[in-house]
Amino acid sequence: MKHELKVMITEAEINQALDKMAEKINRDYQGVDSLLVVGLLKGSVLVMSDLVRRLDGNVHLDFMTASSYGAGTESSGDVKIVMDLARSINGRHVLIVEDIIDTGRTLSKVCALLKTRNPASLEVASFLDKPSRRVVDVPVKYVGVEIPDEFVVGYGLDYDEAYRQLPYIATVLNP
């Protein structure tokens, strides 16, 4: 079935939000010798790529795949590390990048795990935030756009793996 999509956040609006996020991040990490940006696959790929090209200084990248969704449509909280980081984060300034924070379960598990590895600092940047859906409290220092509880796709976000490549964010009218 073909889905009907309605644009919620345009490419221009995404770029504006990214500029603001990057400005804050650049200000906060001024003087830090190196920043390790960790993208959670797969959803973060587009925001990761667009955000890091706006960052100043010595930026390193790493990736992690954490799967939390079982058969259902909501994250279970049983977060499995499908692919771990390539390198140690001991003593590093780490910034996790996400496409969206929904219940908070994924990020809370990933943050708890990464904290045990003794980073110098650990913060989260999420392009979208759906605060009304939060089940677990996670401190998200950098947010692009706060959205209501609607099913959204595009800009990394999928519906059954489709639509991740869209350069805008849309709601699915007939899910």
Choices 51-59, 83-91, 95-103, 155-163; region in contact with Mg ion by CB under 5 A = 155-163
* CA distance from start to end of the chain: 10
Which residues form the interface with ligand PRP (CB under 6 A)? 40, 42-43, 67-69, 75, 98-106, 158
162's torsion region: left (phi>0), alpha (psi -120 to 50) or beta? beta
Distance of CA 104 to the CA centre of its chain: 11
Q: Which is nearer to Mg ion, 11 or 158 (CB)?
A: 158
Q: Is 102 a catalytic residue?
A: yes
Whole-angstrom Cα distance, residue 156 to residue 163?
8
Which residues form the interface with Mn ion (CB under 5 A)? 43
Q: Which is nearer to Mn ion, 32 or 162 (CB)?
A: 162
How many other CB atoms are found less than 10 A from the CB of residue 169? 27
What is the nearest approach in angstroms of Mn ion to the Cβ of residue 42? 6
Partner whose binding site includes residue 101, from Mn ion, ligand PRP, Mg ion, none (CB under 5 to 8 Å by kind): ligand PRP
Which listed residue (50, 99, 102, 129) is catalytic?
Answer: 102
Partner whose binding site includes residue 171, from Mn ion, Mg ion, ligand PRP, none (CB under 5 to 8 Å by kind): none
- Burial of residue 131, with CB atoms counted within 10 A of its CB: 0-12 exposed, 13-18 middle, 19 or more buried: middle
**Chain residues that interact with Mg ion, rule: CB under 5 A:** 158
